[in-house]
Amino acid sequence: EVEAYAGTAGDPASHAHRGRTPRNAVMFGPAGHAYVYFTYGMHWCMNVVTGPDGEAAAVLLRAAEVVDGIEVARARRPPYAGTSTWRAARRGSAATLGIDRSAYGLDLLGDGPVRLRPAVAPVPEAAISAGPRVGVTGAHDVPWRFWITGDPTVSSYRRHVPRRRG
């Protein structure tokens, strides 16, 4: 499961919407690098930079299936309180994979500790679903979230609800 973000090109949900900052600089290219950030004071998130050099664009990795090293992954991400299966805890792939700030800017196409590999088998286009991104305040109805239909690691959709003051 992934979500796409278009940078400064009219996507207010993107961290690069207002331009380059020290936090989002890697989003401006080159493609194939990791944009890692900490959110809500508790979660590491990893994006893969996808746009041409100089233009911010990235794809957030929302969920994944652990195919090797499952005991290490379980130790990194124990079940959430109140859940009966570890499946619910696989959502949030950065924590499960041991990703933190040290992965910021890594070349994911090289021989580093975190790298992208081609899929073992391509997913048929008919098996891919699309819908709105999860928990964003701006452009919340943009259907740039993609997942394999019926996959048990997919996040449940939660539309962002603004906090009320007072």
Omega into 30 within 30° of 0, i.e. cis? Answer: yes
CATH number of this structure's domain 2-148: 3.10.300.10
Phi and psi at residue 44, to the nearest 5°: -90, 135
Comparing 7 with 148, the larger pLDDT belongs to 148
pLDDT at position 88? 46
Q: Length of the chain in residues, anyone?
A: 166
Calpha distance 110→35 (Å, rounded): 15
DSSP letter (8 states) at residue 34: E
**Greater pLDDT, 34 or 82:** 34
Q: For residues 152 and 129, which has the higher predicted lDDT (pLDDT)? A: 129
Residue 60, strand partner residues:
3, 47
- pLDDT at residue 93, as a whole number: 66
pTM: 0.83
Model confidence over 30-76: pLDDT tens digits?
999 999 998 877 788 899 999 899 999 999 998 877 777 777 877 77
